[in-house]
Amino acid sequence: MAGRPRVGVLALQGDVREHARVLTELGADVSLVRRPTELSEVDGLVLPGGESSVIDKLARAFGMQEPVRAAIAGGMPMYGTCAGLILLADRITDGISGQETFGGLDVTVRRNAFGSQVDSFETDLAVPALGDPAVHAVFIRAPLVERVGPDVQALAALEDGRVVAVQRGALMGTSFHPEVTGEHRFHRRFLDIVRAA
């Protein structure tokens, strides 16, 4: 149905429930995706925050890596927060040995760029694509986008210019966690992308 996009949340590890709650509140039909058959039943996929290396290993164990890559290549909209952004990046500068990504976003990402859990912080970000007011962003062991490819749009950056939100076509990623702060505009933008696709 045009009004109720069918979206999945990759439910291998991480803050799955938080994303599912926000998407449901915004009017989406939400399902938890752990297997290729479940991926084939949705029109868009959210990759949640969590531990990117663990999600990578579980995606391979559950036979999800290649189906997700194929879905990205086929144009399925995806939105990754924190670890999800790392999983959408084409390159990681400090992944653990053997760590892989799904890819799709022509960006280079550094994991845990701001330090450990105790170095987590909050700040307000100007996001011109979302308009006013500023986005209150929570960074928890967050990654940083160190290089942005020519066809990738930087949606938000810290005051020092370091990029923390990006989009390329139907793929979007944020270093921070809007799903935990009551900030729904990124999820709304994602649902608009799903509807348009």
Could you say which of 18, 19, 177, 187 is catalytic?
Answer: 177
* φ, ψ dihedrals at 188, nearest 5°: -65, -45
Q: Are 171 and 124 in contact (CB under 8 A)?
A: no
The length of the chain, given as a count of residues:
197
Is 187 tagged catalytic? no
Residue ranges with strand state E in 1-134? 6-10, 29-33, 44-47, 78-81, 89-92, 105-110, 121-125
Could you say which of 179, 183, 184, 187 is catalytic?
Answer: 179
Half-sphere exposure at residue 108, Cβ-oriented, CA atoms within 13 angstroms: 5
Is 38 tagged catalytic? no
Peptide bond connecting 133 to the previous residue in cis, omega within 30 degrees of 0: yes
Could you say which of 18, 19, 82, 187 is catalytic?
Answer: 82
Active site residues: 82, 177, 179
